[in-house]
């Protein structure tokens, strides 16, 4: 999808639709931008700056026609932790570094890889983030005073419990009014943004009845300036890069995941198709530019993107208009925004947390009672009680370990023989019994990936089932989709073991990827091209031609249909030789 193609055939009617959707989404984005900034531990205007700068750039440069970018709830815990530990200036640097990482990921076309992050990990940390956001607003909802903010969950909960006696009834009423309006607006006026109505109504109630008794944005953070901040490039040093590389990487990963998930949702709603690499590059550039204007990290916002589409957006112009609307509101109405009570912001964020919690998905995964449930719970618990960085790292590592274990359990090595009752004489495992098993040909079907997690089991399974050393080992590898160097090493060890004792190894049905590995490592040449077959039947015919027919004497296994003929020939040969011996003796 070329950039110009996003506006191909654009006309006045489309612009009117984009104008309406951009206006609505812009109005919705204003309270959310401020709320997310406050929850992240920075001034509310920084959320506005992010909405304006990142919102316009993401729409202009991203890979989705309908994506609305800006600050999101998912970033709150990691941004708050960075602010608490390193300060606001270092948050800007971490955001800038995250932008560079996102651009590099896009250039390297790693957008598809992000989609492979296990669902239990994303559900786990998303639910954990929701808990942190929700609990973080309890103090503002209750109007508690003297609260000291901490980086971790438990100390923050302890602060709330210790200061419950400072509950401000006026704040509770203000927050309650906002919450009721938030819940009722979608039912009464579904096309009107409930967050804005709730904010306005509760702010008016507080200003009229509780003026001076409820903490506001202005009283807590100072007046919101009505202009964008001056361009400022943060001082980046090598020490700061080393210090912030981990949080920057988490911001980039989280931003990439959120933006691509949002783009996928947009695709499903519109039937369009986003460009994942372009989306990452657009997100990266936006996150590199936004900190230069004091903004915090941004990503694609799923709820705002969905609202944009529902209100008739046609092109990225709606996202650009949404940023311009926020800018105009900042210039014209900033003084009024300073009078918004913090208690009015709390229900908005609580509702955001409730909606993003994925509670149904969480419960569904837990009900499966599988290893995914373990990954989900551990990621969730670590997100809440430690930090998002640790949670994501441990969740991914645990998911990989459990995946390897699961894949190793998938590998099956079974000894097989042809079933004469089958019309096509397909080989089956149940045909191998103690009294029905060829002493000279060991034939095995291998099913599943032959990789480091299962390679030892593969070799051991074959060695443990061979009670007498056969002359020919036939490996059916048609159901081995993948082989790594560890799997190749163990196969090489098995082949060398059989060749050492004069045995012969035949392989049938090798798929392209394993064949490529065998050729690159030289094992293909070591086994010999003549010993590779496309079908099992060809390999069996070749194996039967290499048998020691003298050993067929007296064999009663009759593992193959040819065994009867081979056995009779041996018996006939012995009878002729016996007759000659008698004739010689009589002479």
Last residue of a domain, which of 400, 432, 453?
Answer: 400
pLDDT the model gives residue 185: 92
Q: How many CB atoms lie within 10 A of CB 258?
A: 24
Q: Which of 12-26, 208-222, 346-360, 393-407 has the lowest mean pLDDT?
A: 393-407
Please check the confidence at residue 1 and state whether its pLDDT lies above 60: no
Helix (H) or strand (E) holding 124: helix 119-136
| Cβ atoms of residues 549 and 569 within 8 Å | yes
The 10s digit of each residue's pLDDT in 444-478 is 999 999 988 887 888 888 887 666 678 899 999 99
Which of 400, 432, 461 represents a domain boundary (last residue)? 400
147/294 same-domain check:
yes
d(CA 357, CA 376): 13
Query: Residue 408: which H helix or E strand, with range?
Result: helix 388-410
Q: Return the number of other C-beta atoms located less than 10 Å from residue 167's C-beta.
A: 14
Give me the percent of the chain exceeding a pLDDT of 70: 92
| Torsion of Cα atoms, 145 then 50 then 193 then 259, to 10° | -110
The answer to the question of residue 577 being in a domain is: no
pLDDT at site 467? 60
**417, part of any domain:** yes
* 55-102 confidence digits (pLDDT tens): 999 999 999 999 999 999 889 988 998 999 999 999 999 999 999 999
Show the tokens assigned to 287: 């996150």
> Which pLDDT score is estimated for 7?
64
CA distances from residue 324 to 53, 196, 284, 311 in whole angstroms, order as listed: 9, 18, 21, 17
Residue position matching structure tokens 């190749």: 488
Residues 425 and 388 in one domain: no
- Shared domain for 147 and 47, answered yes or no, is yes
Is residue 509 domain-shared with residue 565, that is, in the same domain?
Answer: yes
Q: What is the pLDDT of residue 248?
A: 94
pLDDT exceeds cutoff 60 at 573: no
pTM value?
Answer: 0.74
For 407-423, what is each residue's pLDDT tens digit?
777 888 888 888 877 76
Sorting pLDDT into bands at 50, 70 and 90, what band is 149?
A: confident
111 or 235: which leads in pLDDT: 235
Say what the pLDDT of residue 477 is: 94
Average pLDDT of the chain to the nearest whole number: 86
pLDDT at 3: 46
Please indicate, yes or no, if residue 223 is contained in any of the structural domains: no
d(CA 365, CA 518): 40
Token couple for 177 = 């009014």
Range of the domain at 45: 14-218+235-400
Query: Residue 475 maps to which CATH number?
Result: 3.30.750.24
State percent of the chain over pLDDT 90.
Answer: 48
Per-residue pLDDT reduced to its tens digit, 112-138: 777 677 888 888 988 998 899 899 999
The distance from CA 521 to its chain's CA centroid, rounded to whole angstroms, is 33
Dump pLDDT digits (tens) for 284-307. Answer: 999 999 999 999 999 998 888 988
Mean pLDDT of 105-117: 81
Is residue 142 domain-shared with residue 83, that is, in the same domain? yes
Q: What's the total number of domains in the chain?
A: 2
Q: Which of 351, 373, 400 is the last residue of a domain?
A: 400
According to the model, what pLDDT value does residue 577 have?
A: 47
What band does 369 get if pLDDT is binned at 50, 70 and 90? confident
- Cα-based distances in Å from 261 to 105, 286, 306, 312, 492: 16, 18, 12, 20, 43
Written as six digits, the tokens of 115 are 């989609």
| CB within 8 Å of 316: residues ≥ 6 apart | 6, 7, 59, 60, 62, 65, 66, 67
| pLDDT higher than 70, residue 565 | no
Question: For residues 133 and 349, is the Cβ–Cβ distance under 8 A?
Answer: yes
Q: Within the chain, how many helices (H) and strands (E) appear?
A: 25, 9
């Amino acid at each position: 999808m070329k950039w110009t193609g996003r506006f191909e055939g654009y006309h006045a009617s489309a612009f009117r639709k984009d104008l309406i959707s951009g206006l609505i989404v812009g109005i919705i984005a204003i309270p959310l931008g401020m709320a997310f900034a406050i929850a992240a531990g920075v001034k509310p205007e920084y959320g506005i700056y992010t909405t304006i700068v990142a919102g316009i750039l993401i729409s202009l440069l991203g890979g989705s026609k309908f994506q609305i970018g800006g600050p999101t709830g998912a970033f709150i815990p990691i941004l708050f932790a960075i602010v608490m530990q390193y300060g606001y200036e270092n948050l800007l640097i971490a955001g800038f570094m995250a932008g560079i990482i996102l651009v590099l990921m896009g250039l390297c076309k790693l957008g598809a890889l992000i989609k492979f992050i296990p669902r239990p990990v994303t559900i786990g940390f998303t639910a954990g983030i929701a808990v942190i956001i929700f609990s973080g607003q309890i103090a503002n909802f209750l109007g508690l005073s003297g609260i000291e903010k901490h980086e971790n969950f438990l100390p923050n909960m302890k602060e709330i419990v210790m200061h419950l006696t400072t509950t401000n009834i006026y704040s509770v009423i203000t927050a309650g009014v906002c919450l009721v309006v938030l819940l009722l607006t979608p039912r009464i006026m579904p096309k009107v943004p409930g967050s804005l109505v709730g904010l306005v109504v509760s702010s008016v109630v507080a200003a009229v009845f509780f003026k001076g008794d409820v903490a506001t944005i202005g009283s807590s953070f100072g007046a919101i300036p009505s202009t964008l901040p001056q361009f400022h490039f943060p001082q980046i040093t090598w020490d700061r890069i080393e210090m912030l590389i981990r949080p920057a990487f988490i911001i980039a990963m989280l931003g990439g995941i959120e933006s691509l998930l949002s783009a996928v949702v947009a695709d499903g709603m519109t039937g369009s198709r986003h460009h994942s690499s372009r989306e990452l590059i657009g997100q990266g550039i936006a996150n590199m530019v936004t900190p230069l204007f004091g903004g915090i990290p941004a990503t694609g916002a799923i709820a705002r993107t969905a609202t944009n589409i529902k209100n008739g957006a046609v092109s990225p112009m709606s996202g650009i208009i949404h940023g311009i609307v926020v800018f105009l509101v900042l210039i014209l109405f900033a003084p009024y925004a300073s009078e918004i009570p913090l208690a009015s912001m709390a229900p908005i964020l609580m509702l955001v947390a409730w909606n993003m919690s994925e509670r149904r998905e969480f419960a569904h995964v837990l009900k499966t009672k599988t290893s995914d449930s373990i990954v989900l719970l551990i990621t969730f618990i670590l997100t809440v009680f430690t930090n998002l960085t640790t949670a994501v790292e441990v969740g991914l590592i645990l998911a990989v370990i459990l995946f390897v274990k699961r894949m190793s359990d998938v590998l099956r090595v079974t000894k097989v023989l042809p079933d004469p009752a089958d019309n096509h004489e397909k080989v089956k495992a149940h045909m191998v019994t103690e009294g029905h098993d060829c002493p000279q040909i060991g034939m095995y079907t291998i099913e599943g990936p032959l990789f480091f997690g299962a390679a030892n089991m593969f070799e051991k399974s074959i060695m443990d089932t061979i009670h007498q050393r056969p002359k020919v080992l036939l490996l059916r590898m048609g159901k081995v989709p993948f082989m790594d160097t560890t799997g190749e090493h163990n196969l090489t060890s098995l082949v060398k073991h059989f060749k050492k004792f004069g045995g012969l190894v035949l392989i049938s049905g090798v798929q392209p990827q394993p064949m490529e590995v065998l050729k690159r490592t030289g094992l293909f040449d070591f086994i010999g091209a003549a010993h590779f077959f496309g079908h099992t039947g060809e390999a069996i015919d070749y194996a039967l031609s290499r048998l020691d027919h003298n050993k067929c004497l007296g064999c009663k296994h009759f593992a193959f249909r040819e065994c009867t003929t081979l056995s009779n020939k041996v018996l006939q040969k012995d009878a002729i030789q016996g007759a000659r011996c008698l004739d010689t003796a009589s002479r």
